């Protein structure tokens, strides 16, 4: 059972459904047919941490064979999870569901020291696919707790990343879910405070939370560097530029993906007349396209590009064949794979050891 850390199971779609083609209906502006186009945000899709985590499971299956157990969803995308399941991965809620002595991968969202200890108690062979940017926040929490700071962690209750970070300093951390909570939380020592954040939040909402916290606690200190990851920020910047010219924005990604849901919010906040999230192209509704001459498309940081391509193909059927890529940043960051996976099954260095992949651009070249 996959639950994203909550009691209710995540709903399918396990596989994409067959879809009826969208109709190519005219869009009228001032009574005249308008040209249809797609503004495709870039950067979009897989970030370096997601890529590293997915490759980690793929390589573990290659090197050790099935089954490979994975604690929680390796990344928050149902298509990725179901694809890895078909390859032999078994996703579990916690390490106590893994047979003693088996091999388990920790997801990109990270784990608390208690989870690591639980795996050791069951003599599990662990592979840590935690995103290095999440690990950075864990280390900050540990360090500041040792220095007797009260940590105000900005994030969403129940998210695996938040649970992992709080587990590194449980006695010193207070969770702040949103700007309104910044007005009500109480701290033991307002003179020694620092804020940290979940890596996948809305940049604007996080800074509003910080502003309201600092209004109450003037001595609040900033983290040494940004906690919100580069990919989250870049995707939000790109969709802001697209949204101001879009009648509709379609965000590809799963409902339990925090950064995906924030892209929907940011689209609406920055000018899009409407914004919808889909896992698959078949979920696009014909009525969404009514009156939409310009459609923005983006995807969350855990979304493979193939799902975006399918959305573009569906929109092309509806007459949106003019696709313009709106590029606001170039990304070339890659992360080394977990040390256990830097060689192949024969002991040779693996060419994927850095965990990076190229992403096709609109014209078919690689970026």
Please, which residues bridge with residue 277 across strands? 251
User: Of the residues 58, 140, 160, 161, which is catalytic?
Assistant: 161
Which single residue is written with the structure tokens 């980690």? Answer: 56
The tokens for 193 are 């405070």
Counts of helices then strands in the chain (DSSP H, E): 10, 14
Nearest CA among 289, 264, 282 for reference residue 34: 289
The tokens for 145 are 């707790």
Greatest Cα pair distance, the chain, in angstroms, is 70
Nearest CA among 268, 83, 269 for reference residue 277: 268
Residues 6+ apart with CB under 8 A from 125: 101, 102, 103, 104
What sign results for the dihedral spanned by CA atoms 268, 80, 57, 8? positive
Residue 161 annotated as catalytic: yes
Q: Which residues are part of the catalytic machinery?
A: 161
């Amino acid at each position: 059972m996959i639950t994203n850390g909550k009691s209710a199971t995540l709903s399918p779609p396990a596989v994409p459904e067959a879809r009826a083609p969208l109709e190519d209906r005219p869009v009228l502006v001032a009574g005249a047919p308008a040209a249809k186009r797609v503004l495709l945000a870039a950067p979009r899709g897989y970030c370096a941490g997601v890529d590293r985590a997915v490759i980690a499971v793929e390589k573990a299956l290659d090197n050790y064979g099935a089954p490979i157990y994975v604690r929680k969803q390796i990344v928050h995308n149902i298509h990725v999870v179901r694809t890895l399941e078909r390859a032999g991965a078994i996703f579990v809620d916690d390490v106590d569901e893994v047979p003693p002595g088996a091999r388990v991968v920790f997801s990109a969202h990270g784990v608390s020291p208690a989870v690591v200890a639980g795996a050791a108690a069951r003599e599990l062979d662990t592979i840590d696919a935690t995103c290095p940017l999440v690990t950075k926040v864990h280390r900050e929490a540990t360090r500041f707790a040792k220095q007797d700071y009260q940590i105000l962690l900005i994030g969403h209750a129940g998210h695996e990343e938040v649970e992992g970070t709080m587990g590194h300093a449980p006695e010193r951390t207070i969770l702040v879910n949103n700007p309104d909570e910044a007005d009500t939380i109480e701290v033991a020592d307002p003179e020694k405070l620092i804020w940290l954040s979940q890596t996948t939040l809305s940049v604007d909402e996080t800074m509003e939370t910080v502003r309201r916290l600092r209004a109450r606690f003037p001595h609040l200190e900033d983290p040494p560097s940004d906690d919100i990851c580069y990919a989250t920020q870049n995707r939000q910047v790109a969709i802001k530029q697209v949204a101001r010219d879009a009648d509709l924005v379609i965000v590809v990604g799963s409902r339990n993906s925090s950064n995906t849901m924030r892209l929907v919010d940011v689209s609406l906040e920055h000018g899009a007349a409407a914004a919808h999230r889909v896992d698959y192209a078949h979920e696009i509704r014909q009525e969404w396209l009514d009156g939409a001459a310009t459609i923005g498309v983006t995807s969350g940081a855990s979304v493979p590009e193939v799902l975006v391509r399918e959305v573009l193909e569906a929109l092309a059927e509806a007459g949106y064949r003019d696709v313009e890529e709106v590029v606001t940043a170039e990304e070339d960051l890659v992360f080394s794979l977990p040390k256990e996976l830097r060689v192949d099954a024969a002991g040779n260095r693996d060419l994927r050891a850095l965990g990076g992949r190229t992403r096709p651009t609109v014209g078919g070249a690689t970026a």
